[in-house]
């Protein structure tokens, strides 16, 4: 499905409210002045409220993207779009894209 491309200014959170940010944005392509993000590098998560052991498995640490754009690539890697899907480690919960730029769409 088509969706807006994610860049470093996009708002992405884990299921427990932690803020997710790209570890390695792609500096070659910019959208609205900010580098886009690709599927390869994970997102780092800070501020996850999931309780530590023994109550639960602990807070989300990283988010690995499993679904990205099918037709748009940057330096050989698929770009992340609004409906891309990721799984957090160690909880197995998804990342949610709340806000993204609204000028460039990808598929």
> For residue 30, what are the β-bridge partners?
35
Domain boundaries, the chain: 3-106
Query: 51 Cβ partners below 8 Å, 6+ apart?
Result: 58
Mean pLDDT, to the nearest integer, of 82-90? 96
pLDDT digits (tens, 9 = 90+) for 22-48: 999 999 999 999 999 999 999 999 999
pLDDT digits (tens, 9 = 90+) for 50-73: 999 888 899 999 999 999 999 999
Could you please state the CATH topology (level 3) that the domain comprising 3-106 is classified under: Tumour Suppressor Smad4 (2.60.200)
Asked if residue 57 lies in contact with residue 31, where contact means CB atoms within 8 angstroms, the answer is no
93 secondary structure, DSSP code: P
Task: Report the alpha-carbon angle 68-69-75, nearest 5.
Answer: 95
- Token pair of 6 as six digits: 């994610």
Q: DSSP characters for 30-51?
A: EETTEEE-BSSSPEEEE---PP
């Amino acid at each position: 499905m088509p969706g807006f491309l994610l860049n470093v200014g996009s708002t992405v959170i884990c299921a427990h409210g932690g803020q997710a940010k790209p570890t390695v944005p792609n500096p070659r392509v910019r959208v609205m002045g900010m580098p886009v993000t690709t599927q390869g590098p994970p997102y780092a998560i800070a501020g996850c409220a999931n309780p530590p052991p023994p109550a639960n498995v602990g807070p989300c640490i990283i988010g690995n993207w499993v679904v990205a754009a099918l037709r748009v690539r940057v330096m050989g890697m698929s770009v992340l779009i609004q409906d891309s899907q990721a799984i957090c480690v160690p909880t197995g919960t998804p990342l949610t894209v709340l806000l993204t730029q609204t000028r460039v769409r990808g598929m």
